[in-house]
Structure 1
């Protein structure tokens, strides 16, 4: 039995400042830090104390701070992987969201979507973004650990889940698994059929305590 817990980092400064995230290295807000503590506590409550746990994280500050809260409760070091970063928006990173909105060219409803040029200098295509998330997820799954935690970004969740269910990357052009910031998605593979289940998607019940503080 393998269980993969995919965490989307909680509230970061770019959320409240109204600027584009992507590779812009924003930090968690005070509310985000409280949520990260709640995330760590929720994971600790789900995973047996005796279980071996591996922790993987994007190397950006907002995900690393979240991963460090988890690491403290589990007594492990986060394995940093820049492939788990959010999509790069190139020159738009850190600029006002409206700057991007005015220039962004959305993908067509029908036609080439994975290699679509969004009109932003240096922005990743969906294909490049998907390829690195698939590669990172597949490398993580080659480890024989029964409990693995990935701390990443909201946009990346789609490709982690798509990779998990072995969706061909060329078929991910319309895929979208959305989840709120600070969520936990639970994925499980059984030992008999080796089916890969999506147990829960974007759970945020653990954030109730953080919001009450």
Structure 2
């Protein structure tokens, strides 16, 4: 049985500053750092002590900080991979969200969506994002490890999931798996049928405050 835990980084400075994330190298907020600890504890509770664990992360600060909290509990070193980054929004990265909103051209309901030009210089297409995430996932899945943790971004998570279920890139034009920041998506492959399942999508129960007694 292979299990992948795909983690989306929690609250970062670009969230509270209302600026565009993408490749803008924002950091976790104090609340985000606290949530990263909760993510690490939730993963530690799910993965048996002594099991082989590998940890992969986007190289941006907000994901790297999240991965570092996980690494502390598991005693492993994160493998940083820029291919797991969020989609690049080109010249919009780090600018106010409303700046992007005024210029953004949404994809058409029908027609070309994967190579759609969003009207922002330097922005990646969905196809470009998918190609690099699929390449990273292909290498991760070649490794014979039972438990793998991947720390990435909300936008990239869709491509992690579609890659996992072997959806061809040319078929993902309409795919969107929206999950909250700080979530854990659990992906499993069984050893008998080798079926790949999405066991849970965007789980944030570990972020809930403890109930009052």
Query: What does residue 39 of structure 2 align with?
Result: 39
Alpha-carbon distance, 1:62 to partner: 0.2
Residue by residue, what CA displacement relative to the aligned partner does 1:80-126 show, whole Å, maximum 9, x if unpaired?
00000000000000000000000000100000000010110000011
Alpha-carbon distance, 1:209 to partner: 3.6
Query: What does residue 158 of structure 1 align with?
Result: 158
C-alpha separation in 1, matches of 2:138 and 2:200: 20
Alpha-carbon distance, 1:23 to partner: 0.1
Query: What does residue 204 of structure 2 align with?
Result: 204
Query: What does residue 80 of structure 2 align with?
Result: 80
Query: What does residue 168 of structure 2 align with?
Result: 168
Q: Is the 8 A contact 1:38 1:209 kept in 2?
A: no
Stretches of structure 2 lacking an aligned partner (at least 5 in a row):
none
Query: What does residue 144 of structure 1 align with?
Result: 144
TM-score relative to the length of structure 2: 0.98
Runs of 4+ aligned structure 1 residues displaced above 4 Å come to none
TM-score relative to the length of structure 1: 0.98
2:73 matches 1:99: no
Stretches of structure 1 lacking an aligned partner (at least 5 in a row):
none
Alpha-carbon distance, 1:138 to partner: 1.1
Alpha-carbon distance, 1:211 to partner: 11
Query: What does residue 3 of structure 1 align with?
Result: 3
